[in-house]
Copies of this chain bind each other. A is one copy, B any other.
Amino acid sequence: MKSELKPNVVGIDIGGTNTVFGIVDANGNVLASNSIKTQAYPELEDYIEALGNGLLELISKNGGAEKINGIGVGAPNANYYTGNIEHAANLPWKGIVPFAKMLSDKVGLPVSLTNDANAAAIGEMKYGAARGMRDFIMITLGTGVGSGVVANGQLIYGHDGNAGELGHVIVRRDGRPCGCGNKGCLETYTSATGVARTAKEFLLNRKEDSLLRKIDLDKITSKDVFDAAMAGDQIAKDIFAFTGQVLGEALADFVKFSSPEAFVLFGGLAKAGDLLFNPVKKAMDDNLMPVFKGKVKVLFSQMKDADAAVLGASALAWDI
């Protein structure tokens, strides 16, 4: 049997650049937080030592370990079942890292981890746009495209912990090459880098003037495209229309899988608002059968950017 729930949890978000950690209460308030530079620790043991000491200090200043229910970690390529981080391309430590065990040994608290998009989904269910929902799909639109699938009120981890790789569903047969080795993956079109690729393609293939032509073709970012679209630039608006169309078509196929109540979009690209929302919603409904059409919500995350990753990770630690 589980012991009684303690009042707070710790959330840790491990990114390629920074590792942010904080103490969170049951209402989703971040009571205190701190960070270390992930890249400053090429040796895993040094990183665990620094992170563990930072955590212990933060915890002791905020009521001590007896107030902490557990530690939740969101990290790229993190496996919920094994507690390992496996072959994460953007982290300094190679191979399979027994992360949960090492951190738990260091700080003396239970540690649960999952990948960043799953952590975001759990956070959204506990504190954000998906409160009260038992069936929804989180789509993170950042440098890549990640996903967390919730069905029957539970995150779907799959038989091996690797479920929810919707960024690599193939949306254009023989389409754009993807880092995963395949072609035409969703994330080659609807990530921030996908938008930059579309911009380059459109600017090369079209003749009209555009605000984007002032920028070096290889340096255009999704932010540049957003700014140009907001200034009324037609090519920039068309880039978002295309991105939204591809994403909406993909969401329609995801509906046929788990019939979610909603999609929750999160990440830099989700800030495009109606520029993205309108074509996404239209393309999704155009590609659904009558039984689904018009019924599935497309929502934007309600989590504050600065807190979202830590909050999402921390939510894991309520059920540890």
Contacts and interface: CB of A to CB of B under 8 A. Distances in A.
Contact of A287 (B157, B162, B182): B182
A60 interface: no
Please give the count of copies of this chain that the complex contains.
Answer: 2
Interface residues of A, number: 45
B170 A151 contact: no
A217 interface: no
Interface stretch (A36-44, A45-53, A257-265): A257-265
Given A170-B287, A253-B170, A259 B182 contact: no
Given A163-B151, A165-B289, A289-B168, A260 B181 contact: no
Interface stretch (A61-69, A190-198, A290-298): A290-298
Interface string A174-211: 00000011100000000000000000000000000000
A149 B164 CA distance: 14
A160 interface: yes
A154 to B, nearest CB: 5
Nearest to A135: B159
Contacts of A101: none
A95 interface: no
Interface string A48-82: 00000000000000000000000000000000000
Contacts of A152: 152, 154, 156-157
A6 interface: no
A166 B256 contact: yes
A133 interface: yes
A254 B134 CA distance: 21
A158 B289 contact: no
A169 interface: yes
Given A135-B159, A151-B156, A156-B151, A166 B289 contact: no
A247 interface: no
A70 to B, nearest CB: 21
Contacts of A261: 159-160
A253 B154 CA distance: 21
A135 B160 CA distance: 9
Interface of A: 86, 133-136, 149, 151-152, 154, 156-166, 168-170, 172-173, 180-182, 249, 252-254, 256-261, 287-292, 295
29 contacts: A86-B291, A134-B159, A135-B158, A135-B159, A149-B257, A151-B151, A151-B156, A151-B158, A151-B163, A152-B152, A154-B154, A157-B259, A158-B260, A160-B259, A160-B295, A161-B259, A162-B259, A163-B257, A163-B259, A164-B257, A164-B259, A165-B259, A168-B256, A169-B256, A170-B249, A172-B173, A180-B289, A182-B289, A257-B258
Given A152-B156, A164-B259, A257-B257, 8 more contacts: A134-B159, A136-B159, A151-B156, A156-B258, A160-B259, A162-B259, A162-B291, A170-B252
